[in-house]
Structure 1
Amino acid sequence: MPSVAVPRSSQASRALRRSQSTRMTATKFECAAQAHLLAQKRRIPLATKYDVNTNVVPACTKLSLPRTLPRPVLGEVDTSSLVGAYPDLAGIPAEYIRDRLNLTTPKMRAAIQAVETSVSKSTLPTELNILMNEVVSFACPTHMFAVYNDAPLPLGHKRQVNLFPIHDLVFGLQCTNLPTLPAARPSSSPSHTTVPVVPLRLPSPETFSLLHAYLYTKQPATLLASLARPCETDMLQLAAHANKILGLWRNACLLGVVDAQLYDVIGASWDSAIAAMQACS
């Protein structure tokens, strides 16, 4: 068969089309690879776990969070343990005492915020001296909580313990699972008073300050504001925030806090955090 000569212009046109097709195919593969990589990066934070003790989110473990935080069955506190120190409370319903106590708790909170004390960093004492001043003496704390958890520690590290001055009435009337508190001694000096130190093991020591403040203030709006999710859309930040809410819920459940509004706030904050994480993933 005789050969047919193809004009040079047609050859150039075909070569150009083949080149364009090759570039388009390469571009598609490149875009697909980038999209796959980006999707992997977006999924990576979902496969992490927030370490509440070190504030580090290791990338090799899996984050497992419940979609909802179940509301515990709210019982009622047994005031018999308080009657020894407060005989006038015998036979009075706990709910009524709590309502009356709300009139005094602002001054109690002012007193615990004004507490000054010192403690050795090497050992935890059984008692602590609290310096008396005008604010503290008006509503002096009865005990000192030494809050900690029992998570394993690296070799050579000391367990961190946080001290919180408290009033036995505030916690005894709102927590069904509070450990037995030793008897508080009345102050024998105008300059200081001695209070028992009560070790309190909790799953989330770092969030106890939120619960501590709420039990004194009983202001759901303030707690809700402190649990507002961050504006960032970074999954690690959202996971850390969700872990904060989870820690507060675990502490409240362990202590048996009998406050429905507390769990309303925790539930609403949790739903918002989970929705943000789902939108980010």
Structure 2
Amino acid sequence: MFHVESRPVAHHAHSYPTSQYDAHIHSQSMPSQVAALNLPRQLQRPAFREVPKDNITAVDPNLMAVPVEYIRQGVQQRGEEFYSTASRALSSSRKQAHISHIPQSEYVRVMGATIPTHIVAVYSSGAHTDKVMLYATHALPLAVACAMLPRLPASHPQPRSDGHAQVPVVSLAVPHADAFEPLHNYILSHNAHNLLACLLNPVARSLGRGSALPSAHTLAGLLAQATLSQGDRMAALMALTRNANMLWRNACSLGVFDREFWTVLDLAWDAILGAMNLVATGRA
């Protein structure tokens, strides 16, 4: 088993920013009920760093002379292919393992010409847990998206006659293992609408699949209305902030700097804070 510990970035990227970096919601524009929660107005982005080209060429040496941005565009265009083949590669009964019994390799289902190259065994760093989540993945999208992820071991899976292929298992520690799946799904698929639906699950069915994302104002209204059936509306919205925060911490830890990812995360965060404002002031 190959172990990968995602490398930490600056301390403030792993916690809610202090006033030195970002303004908290202590302002006249926010009611006291929301300001008292001490949430940041924005989720701060870590200092940018480019993905190591060596990590990409380790996956495919033929990409040595190809600019990273061009490689990134090609990966994004194949997003549905990467996501579809990876998401169906493991049966539900094989998606968990005990942390002391993580296999060195596993078999994945071959669902097309593009075969997953690895399985990541994901667990929460700093947490005492026995549970490890297993995700079939593709090395190239990970190498292109994650600047803080060390180089993955070589993998060239070959399909067998039974429709399976053997791939190495990589142990990966992230701040919040429970929030790894939506980030991983986005890295593979580059589907902004699905990411937004995950972050704003109560209104997922109202988001549509058009080319343009809804505005934060529109989403805030939808979220506020969606909490009407909740006993504690503010608690329901706070749960969304926790989910977004966990996803944010994982992205910072892995070094995800994808522009569209951050656009969606910022949009969702603005919408949640806006919904809190509407609920706290009795306007929804």
> If the length of structure 2 is used for normalisation, what is the TM-score?
0.68
1:140 to 2:115 alignment:
yes
Taking the aligned partners of 2:96 and 2:180, their CA distance within structure 1 comes to: 22
Taking the aligned partners of 1:92 and 1:274, their CA distance within structure 2 comes to: 42
1:155-194 counterparts in 2 under 5 A? 158-187=129-158, 189-191=160-162, 192-194=164-166
Is the contact made by 2:108 and 2:165 (CA closer than 8 Å) also made in structure 1?
yes
Is the contact made by 1:119 and 1:128 (CA closer than 8 Å) also made in structure 2?
no
Aligned length: 217
2:187 alignment counterpart = 215
- Unaligned 5+ runs, structure 1: 1-41, 48-62
2:77 alignment counterpart = 103
RMSD over aligned Cα, in angstroms? 2.6
1:1-281 counterparts in 2 under 5 A? 64-116=38-90, 118=94, 121-122=97-98, 123-132=101-110, 135-136=111-112, 138-153=113-128, 158-187=129-158, 189-191=160-162, 192-228=164-200, 230=223, 231-232=226-227, 234-281=233-280
2:15 alignment counterpart = none
Is the contact made by 1:144 and 1:195 (CA closer than 8 Å) also made in structure 2?
yes
Which letter does structure 1 place at the counterpart of 2:155?
Answer: A
- Unaligned 5+ runs, structure 2: 1-31, 203-222
**Structure 1 residues 223 and 121: CA distance shift in structure 2, 3 A:** closer
Taking the aligned partners of 1:64 and 1:150, their CA distance within structure 2 comes to: 25
Is the contact made by 1:112 and 1:165 (CA closer than 8 Å) also made in structure 2?
yes
Taking the aligned partners of 2:252 and 2:259, their CA distance within structure 1 comes to: 12
Secondary structure of the corresponding residue to residue 193 of structure 1: strand
Secondary structure of the corresponding residue to residue 190 of structure 1: coil
| Per-residue CA distance 1:59-113 (angstroms, 9 max, x = gap) | xxxx653222113333321121232341210121111011122333322222112
**Structure 1 residues 121 and 98: CA distance shift in structure 2, 3 A:** closer
User: Structure 1 runs of 4+ off > 6 angstroms?
Assistant: none
Is the contact made by 1:147 and 1:200 (CA closer than 8 Å) also made in structure 2?
yes
Q: Percent identity?
A: 31
Higher Cα radius of gyration = 1
Is the contact made by 2:119 and 2:170 (CA closer than 8 Å) also made in structure 1?
yes
